[in-house]
Structure 1
Amino acid sequence: MTGFSSKPILIDGQGHLLGRLAAIVAKTLLHGQKVVIVRCEGICISGSFFRNKLKYLSFLRKRCNVNPARGPFHFRAPSKIFWRTVRGMLPHKTKRGANALAKLKMFEGIPPPYDRKKRMVVPAALRVLRLNPRRKYCTLGRLGHEVLAHSQGYVAPQDEARGQCSGKALDV
């Protein structure tokens, strides 16, 4: 992801590893580039689903004893889980880090302004290139749906409709 452009970089999150993609996105944001991540529900985490489930359930138990509404806040949506991961890699309490974080947008599925645009992949963060083929992994979508009770039903119809529209566009 070299070079600077005024247009945002559009990245398809499907099949990328969470930490590696977040590190590359954080560095790009600090350089002043706008970044948009689509299909966050397809971002992968290495390790078995059961292991990641236990880790996230342990994280959910951490809260303020006096008033849990004060935080820490535990996001359920895959896009917000990715956002928090990127935030942990930025100096978000400084003006520079806050400005960088403001240039990041994430979505589940591919919403209409981005469904007709060219999407990039980050080879340095792709699961098929970086992870051992026998290594277990799980996706943020499954983790959010089964552990965190985040609704998964609204992305599938949207993807199906997008697939039909793109199919019509390709049948020219």
Structure 2
Amino acid sequence: MKVYKLQTVQHLNAGIEECWDFFSSPQNLQIITPDTMSFEIQDFDNKRMYPGQVITYTLKPILGIKINWMTIITISQQNEYFVDEQRFGPYALWHHKHFFEPAPDGGTKMTDVVHYALPFGFLGRIMNHLVVKNKLKSIFDFRYKKIEELFNSKK
């Protein structure tokens, strides 16, 4: 199985507590996901993020095809990091780490590291090359711009 990696780093003009407050609420994932993906949370317990939390949702990532996805928060350290992993969904592997570090200027450095793999062996590798890696890049580009609006356009 071929494992791919996507990493982004973003500086936020907000303290760690404010960043954590936003990103530790699963409901805010919809805000930073492109509308074209029709992202909808189906089930979660309406609590702040904690290890063992299960979140199920639907989305339409490609060609309007609706898929079900279940993630679990496997680890969470308040104001520092959390990890979500796919339990059921389109990937053979999805492991997403989120890190929050104080920046020297009082802001926050946020780093996302995603490791993912696709099913279907050789066909999955072709799909990653033709479609998936570009789709993920566009999703994370959207996310970056949306987070810029939310945290870095304040005057």
Which TM-score tier does this pair reach, normalised by the shorter chain? under 0.3
Higher RCO structure, 1 or 2 (CA under 8 Å, sep 6+): 1
Q: Radius of gyration: which is bigger?
A: 1
More helix by share: 1
For normalisation by structure 2, the TM-score amounts to 0.25
For normalisation by structure 1, the TM-score amounts to 0.24
More strand by share: 2
